[in-house]
Amino acid sequence: MERSRLWGLMAEYDNPGDLVAAARSAYQAGYRRMDAYSPMPVHGLAEALGFHRTRLPLLVLIGGLVGCLGAFTMLWYIETAVYPVNVGGKPYNSWPAFIPITFETTVLFAAIAAVLGMLALNGLPTPYHPVFNAPRFALASRHRFFLAIEAQDPIFDLAQTRGFLEGTHCREVSEVER
């Protein structure tokens, strides 16, 4: 198979323990562009793949701050410059009256940032992924476990990576086309 058509290599495992051990070995060997596929959550798999933190909380915080500052600024501008109404002798910029709308807008913008950030960080929507080309990948939703190493990984070499995966007690190693 020519190099430009190769997306990566995929190894198939019978149980989650072998998958976690293989992912840990691959990470220790220096592979970074890899992913695991499992029909159920596997404890310790994310750590074995090197996934530790996400930027989603920061995006939610930024979204909430934008909503908070935006709502407060909008209300202050409307009450002081555009439509000043003297209610009960209170000053035009009476901030306690702004709190309910400011709070609700903060929550709204944080929630929108959470949804859009999650979609963006997960690379969604992705209607098609190259792993669907793997011959036995349909079993990933039933009872098999897969570890895929992408060809874009800096230390990927077809022969060496295939040999490495075959040494991890896998059932089979297959090439995945784009």
List Cβ neighbours of 98 (8 Å cut-off, separation of 6 or more): 71, 72, 75, 76, 79
Structure tokens at 141: 């939703």
Helix (H) or strand (E) holding 148: strand 145-150
Mean pLDDT over residues 148-165, rounded?
Answer: 96
pLDDT 10s digits, 37-58: 999 999 999 999 998 889 999 9
Q: What is the pLDDT, as a whole number, of residue 3?
A: 56
With a cut of 90, say whether residue 135 has pLDDT above it. Answer: no
